[in-house]
Amino acid sequence: MDLPTFDELKDLAQRDPEAFETLRAELIEECIRHSSQRIQRRLRGLQFVIEARRRVAGSPMKALLDIQSMMYDSLLSLRQALLDQQRPCAPTATTNARVLRFQPPLSSAD
């Protein structure tokens, strides 16, 4: 399915909001179906969360802001994970230690 232009989508949303929602759902499903098998489940879960946020938002603008916030949080998590990979691992034990010298035991022949 070819992706309609922005103007076509805008016109459809204004003329026939139901048809717009149907097309939107079809395009999302097609995108998920064409992704690799190993990430399809994750994409479906993410789409479920997005749809739930849209339903409870109360307005399209609130839905947009909520989903944008989700994306920003995800980006920050990804950034932190990448930064953590670049840093050398910190030692888990303290590096300051006092070394004690022990005298060898005296033999019984002495």
DSSP 83: H
| pLDDT at residue 79 greater than cutoff 70 | yes
Q: Alpha-carbon distance 103 to 42, whole Å?
A: 63
Q: Alpha-carbon distance 97 to 53, whole Å?
A: 54
| Spatial CB neighbours of 47, under 8 Å, sequence gap ≥ 6 | 28, 32
Over the stretch 9-67, which tens digit does the pLDDT of each residue have?
Answer: 999 999 999 999 999 999 999 999 999 999 999 999 999 999 999 999 999 999 999 99
Domain boundaries, the chain: 1-34, 44-81
Candidates 44, 17, 4, 49; CA nearest to 28 is 44
pTM of the model: 0.66
Handedness of CA 46, 2, 38, 75 (dihedral sign): negative
